[in-house]
Structure formats: structure tokens, C-alpha cells
Structure 1
Amino acid sequence: MKKVQLRAAALAVSALVAVSSLAACSSDGDAGSGGGGGAKVAFLMPDLASTRYELQDKPLFEAKMKELCPDCKVIYQNADSDAAKQQQQADSALAQGAKVIVLDPVDSAAAASIVKTAQSQDAAVIAYDRPIPDAAADYYVSFDNEKIGSLIAESLVTHLKETKAEGGILQVNGSPTDAAAGLIKKGIHSAVDPSGFKLLAEFDTPDWDPAKAQNWVSGQVAQFGDEIAGVVAANDGTGGGSIAAFKAAGKPVPPITGNDAEVAAAQRIISGDQYNTISKPIKIVAEASAVIAHAFVKGEKPAGKTTLYDTPSELFVPTVVTRENVKEVLFDSGIMKAADVCTAEYAKPCAELGIK
């Protein structure tokens, strides 16, 4: 527990320092005084399957932009897993005069055309959460997706070894059109492949759709049954779908991973249904992206801390959350409120963990 606490504290401090540094670099006297001259900034999100975009990313980004540039206008759109629709939304934002597009792509390959079109019209593109490998955006802000994959898988493998579990692992990846999902997949393999546990099967989940993940896992449960020692699912949606598959089959739920620290995932971890998730506070990437967007609005060209796909980048490091540290990481930190998570169904396990 002590190592988890120290790591969580260190990561939190690092993330806050990084965001503060970005703010300092882009605040040459007018960051909070309307610098931007009424510029328009598009914030284009990829889907509705993950609840985070409507509930967290959008309001957090808009709030930070309002703080930095009260006279700037945010154009928000969600493509609902439709790459063609996202292209239309980007074209519309450019037609409305957007000077910066913050883009979380539905399809990382298709998004290259959005980057090229925007840059041809002197608009900057910030790749958000998911990279765009086929065209260099002007900046990329995200948590380290490959690290996310390795962390959730390492956590699961360690747990399986400690509990002397027998059998193999299922791997439920994210969308095949999402480059971030590819990085997470790579990270998962880096931990699973040398683990000594057999990889029974893996699946790339179209559109990150929990129902499609559930359907696939249901088939694997029918095929492998009690041979399944654990499931590495790439996010909380696919993790939730995996859990539902075991319950529908009347089978005990093995340790199953997740990523995103959604409220439903926190509830499943507290109740013991889900083994882990990843805490990557959306506030960090949303606010960092707003700072970078404001810098571009002012005509600056922010330098990245690293480079990925020939793009200046800022990659934050996430934290693994299990039942052991969920109180500390998600509740003591203020990321979540007990009132939102510890509803009647979860009141007893919350009380057992001292969450109130």
C-alpha cells in the first residue's frame, strides 16, 4: 500500500507541475484577460459510448477556456462513432472560423484529412487523447496509452500469480480504428506475453462498444469456461461488457481490468466485480489542452515535452486503481464524491472501505 500511495502522490504532483508549466509558458500577460480576440476553438469528441466526453471532457475544457480567454468561443461536437460525421463537424467548425481544432478522432487514419484540411486553412490541430499517426498534428496531449496497457496488464498478472491462479487470459482490446487503442494493445502484450499465462484469445472491439465486447467474451466463456483465469479489457466499457458476459453465463467473474475510472467502474471495483481501472484525471488533459489551444490562438507555437508521430507531445502518467487503493486515489483526492458512487446498492461495500 505504501508504494501505491507514494506513486500516486508523486504522479499527482508531477501532473500538476506539468499543467502549471504549460500555463506559465502560454500566459505572457494576457492568459486570463481575454487574450485571443474572440477566437473560435473547436472541441471535437469521438463517441457517446464512453460517458466521460459529455460528463467530464467537455465541461472541463470549456471551463478552462473561459478562464483563459473569456471572449473565446468553444464549438463542441460529438461524432457518435461516425468518422464521416466527424469530418463534417470539422469542416463546419473551420467554416465558422475556428482557429484551433482539438480533435479526439473516431478513426485515427481518417483524421489525417482533418489535420491537412485545417492546416491548409492556417488552423492548428491538437490531437487529444488519441494520436493521429498519418499526419503530424500541431500538438498531442494525452495520458501515455502504451503505459496504460502495460500497467493494467501487469497489475492483473501480478494478482493472478499472487493468488496462484491457473488457466489463461482473454484480451479485449479497443477499437481497431483508434491509434490509442493500438498503443494500449501493445502495452498489454508487453506484460501478458512474457507472463507465463497463455493468451487464450484476443479481440479488437469495434467502436469500443461494450455490447460487442460482451458478445465476444460470451463466446469465449462458452468455449474455454473455467480455463479463463482473467481478462485484460482495455477500458471500463469493455471491462463492464466482459463482466456482464460471465454473469449472464452464470459463471464466477474472474479478475477483469478496465481504464478511465468511470463512476460505474469505481462501483464495480468497490463491490468486487472489477479488479482494476486506470485513474487518468480528465481534468489534467482537458485543462492542458485548453492551455495549448489558447497559446495557438495567441499565435504561439508551444514546444512539447516529447515527440510522438512527429508531433510535439505532452504524455501524462496514469495510476492503477484497485479495491486496495480506490479510496485514496479516487475519493481522498477529490476526483470522485462518495455521494455520486455510494448509492444504495453500493453503500455497504463503500462503508467497508471507509468511503463516505
Structure 2
Amino acid sequence: MNAMTRRFAVGTVAVSIALTMAACGKAGDSKGSSSASASSSSSGASAKSIGLLLPENATTRYEKFDKPLIEAKIKELCPDCTVSYDNAAADPAKQAQQVNTMITKGVKVLILDPQDSVGIKSSVEAAVAAGIKVVAYDRLAEGPISAYVSYDNEKVGELQGQALLDAMGPAATPKSKIVMIDGDPADPNAAQFKAGAHKILDGKVDIAYEQSGLWKDTVANQKVTAAITQLGKANIKGVYSANDGMAGGIATALKGAGIKVPLTGQDAELAGLQRILVGTQTSTIYKAYKPEADATAEIAVDLLQGKDFKSVATTTATSLSGQTVPALLIGATSVTKANIKSTVIADGLYTTSQLCTAEFASACKAAGIS
């Protein structure tokens, strides 16, 4: 095979990937399809089969970006590979059953974004015992993982914390009360976001109320409503939300109480960006999905072909149980109204027409987006 060069260049705004690998061979018969996607096929998997399990569909990124990007990259690297896909819909028991289904199908590599990183351990062990290589995607699952691809999640939390302080301005004092709504404790990333945010916020503001929103807008809304009752609406000077989905529920609670204070987020969801334009949210975190998806697909194909993937997984990560895993951790960018145009629009995450619908046209114009 001919070698081709792949290099990573991680920028603060746009992240591109190309890494050193041998070109994927085309030997062997495909099992009835040249498509990279053979979702939920009931037949046995081929020798070039990859499973893909994502955790939930309430966060728009998984179905809109992660799934199609991973499938497209696998097809590019290995046209006769097939992908079996499923989504846990935020149900850990359902995801455990999906792993069993992948084992029964006989997939050779499993890309797994765990809904419950600890609870999925026995399923990972069962998959590996069946000869399947498991790549942890976005969240580090417990168990004998071959590789892990995600973002520098503690740094993401630091970016969120700093964005909140910046938006608060002179109101950011050690006596200023803020509310923190963290992610789901079953998600190890949530703990890292929280740790990073605390590193920036502790001592600079008073974290007067902190609860988990479980990555659900309804739960986050309830928690912030309780915080308003407990603290008094005049005493809340800012709200940390670990992601945009929860920020939507929080923004509704704040508006209902007549409170206008800085509010963070994460994932650069379209609705979050539109809230930033109109001022009901102040920041989000843009994590370019394509570099993460591409790197994961490249590792999966390398594992399928028995190749060394260490040129992709250039660092390591440590799981909650202390296991060291070859890893790639990608950078992220804080997004406010001032840089929406130069980040998510410039990178093509969304088009201007998607962002600037009739409801948000005037806000887009005011932000210099047209």
C-alpha cells in the first residue's frame, strides 16, 4: 500500500485533521452494500464491520453531526466497510442491550459514547471478550478501552467559567451570588467541565446554589426556579449552565422571573446561538465536531485493519478507575455575540440563513451577520 500523510492542526477557531496512515485496502467482499451505513442490519456483520453507539438524541449534535460525520469518514477510508448504528436515547439499560446486539452481530470494532460511563463497564468487558476493539468517543467509558477521542474537557469548563466572569464584568466579586447547573454525574465529562469551571470561579464569585441538571432542559429549569426561590431574584448575578440544552430551560426560568443575568452554555447549538444573538444567553463553547469524528473513524479503521493508531492518539487519558488509555484531546473555542461570525459561521457549522431566520434577522444585523 502507498503511504499518505495525515497531520493534526488544532486552531482556536477551525480545527483540521490529517494524520499519517496507510491507505485503506479494498480487499474482501462487502456484505451487500458499499455504503458506510448499514444501520441496524439484522444480518451478521462482515469482516469489515464497525458498530457505532451514541448516548442520546436530546442534544442535537449526535444525530445532526456526529453520526453522519463518522459514517462519512469511515466510508472515505474504507469503502467496503459497514457501520451498524444505534442511539441509547439517554437510557443506560438500552445502551447495554445495544452493545449485546453489536456482539451478536459480530462487529469487529465498536465506537461507543457511553450514556453511563461506569455502568457500561461490564458491557465493554463482554465486547472485548468477544474479540471486539472498543473506541470511547467523546466520553471515556470504563473497561478495557483501546482508544479514546474527545476534547480537553477541563479546559472547556475553564472557558465556560471565564466567559461567565467576563460577561459579569464589575459584578464579578467574591460576594456576588451565582447559580451552577452541572451536567449528568453519570457522564465523566460533566465532572471535568465542573472541575474546570470551579478552577476559574472559586474565590471570585459566591457559588450560592449548585445542582445537576442531568443534561435536561426541564430539570435545569426546575433547579433554577428553586434557586430563585431560595436566593431571591435580586441576588442572582449570573448562571453557569454546562450546556446549551439546559441553558434553554434556564433562560425560560430567568425570563419568567424577570431576571436578566449572564448565562453560559456549551455545544454551539443553533438555539443557543440564537439566544446569544438576542441576549438571553451570553456564551457557548464551540467544539468542532468533524475533527473528533474524523479521528475516531481513522482509529476505528486502523484497529479493524490491525494497524498502529498511535499517530492519531498522541496522548493519554486516565479513566475514573485509573486505567490509562491512548487518547486524542481536541481544543475548543468560547463563542459570544462578538465572534459568532468568525467561528461557527466561518467554519460552516451553520449557514447565515439557518441562524438568521425572520425572528432573529434584526439581531443578526446588529451583530454584523448578514
TM-score normalized by the length of structure 1: 0.90
Kindly state the Cα deviation for residue 248 of structure 1 after the two structures are TM-superposed: 2.1
Q: Using the alignment, how far apart are the partners of 2:27 and 2:221 within structure 1? A: 48
Matched, 1:352 2:366: yes
> Contact 1:149 / 1:184 at 8 angstroms: preserved in 2?
yes
Structure 2: any 5+ residue segments left out of the alignment? Answer: 1-8, 31-45, 319-323
Identity fraction in percent: 37
In structure 2, what is the equivalent of residue 178 of structure 1? 187
Q: In 2, Cα distance between the equivalents of 1:233 and 1:36?
A: 49
* SS at structure 1 position matched to 2:109: strand
Q: Which runs of 4+ in 1 moved over 6 A?
A: 34-37
Of stretches 311-320 and 66-75 in structure 1, the one that deviates more from structure 2 is 66-75
Structure 1 residue 255 and structure 2 residue 256: aligned? no
- Taking the aligned partners of 1:326 and 1:229, their CA distance within structure 2 comes to 24
Deviations 1:175-226 (A, max 9, x none): 011111111111111111132x1011101123x1110010110111122211
2:225 is aligned to 218
Give the superposition deviation at 1:121. 1.3
Partner of 1:334: 348
* Contact map agreement 2:10 2:330 (CA 8 A) in 1: no
Q: CA deviation at 1:163?
A: 5.6
- Whether the 8 Å contact between 1:126 and 1:289 is mirrored in structure 2 is yes
Query: 1:20 aligns to what?
Result: 18
**AA at the equivalent of 1:265:** G
Contact 1:34 1:69 in 2 (8 A): no
Alignment partner of 1:300: what SS?
A: coil
Q: How does 1:188-207 map to 2 (within 5 A)?
A: 188-195=197-204, 197-206=205-214
Structure 1 Cα separation of the partners of residues 169 and 23 of structure 2: 55
- Tell me the CA shift for residue 144 of structure 1: 1.1
Q: 1:278 to 1:95 in 2, by over 3 A?
A: same
Q: TM-score, normalised by structure 2?
A: 0.87
* Letter aligned with residue 311 of structure 1: V
Counterpart CA distance in 2 for 1:311 and 1:272 is 41
CA distance 1:289–1:36, shift in 2 (3 Å): farther
- Letter of the 1:253 counterpart: K
Larger helix percent: 1
User: Where does 1:73-152 land on structure 2 (aligned, <5 Å)?
Assistant: 73-132=82-141, 134-152=142-160
For 1:325 and 1:263, how far apart are their aligned partners in 2?
15
Number of aligned pairs?
A: 337
Could you tell me whether the CA contact under 8 Å between 2:171 and 2:237 is conserved in 1? no
Question: What is the CA deviation profile of residues 111-149 of structure 1, one whole-angstrom value per residue up to 9, with x for unaligned ones?
Answer: 2112211111111111111112x3241100001111111
Does the Cα contact within 8 Å between 1:35 and 1:298 map onto a contact in 2?
A: no
Tell me the SS of whatever aligns to 2:12. Answer: helix
2:338 to 298, 305, 324: 324
Report the CA distance between 1:36 and its aligned residue. Answer: 9.6
Q: Which residue of 2 aligns with 1:5?
A: none
Which residue of the other structure, out of 279, 283, 287, is the alignment partner of 1:280? 287
Question: Pairwise mapping of residues 20-39 of structure 1 onto structure 2 (< 5 A)?
Answer: 20-21=18-19, 24-25=20-21, 28-30=22-24, 33=26, 38=46, 39=48
Distance 2:76 2:363 in 1: 39
Alignment-derived partner of residue 37 in structure 2: none
Using CA pairs under 8 Å that are at least 6 residues apart, name the structure with larger relative contact order, 1 or 2: 1
Moved more, 223-232 or 153-162: 153-162
Structure 2 partner of 1:298 = 305
CA contact (8 A) 1:36 1:69 kept: no
Instruction: Report the counterpart of residue 4 of structure 1 in structure 2.
Output: none
Partner of 2:71: 62
SS, match of residue 270 in structure 1: helix
Decide whether the 8 Å contact of 1:34 with 1:68 is kept in 2. no
Can you give the 5+ residue segments of structure 1 that lack an aligned partner in the other structure? 1-7
Q: What is aligned with 1:154?
A: 162
Preserved contact between residue 13 and residue 343 of structure 2 (Cα < 8 Å):
no
In structure 2, the CA distance between the partners of 1:174 and 1:34, relative to structure 1 (3 Å rule), is farther
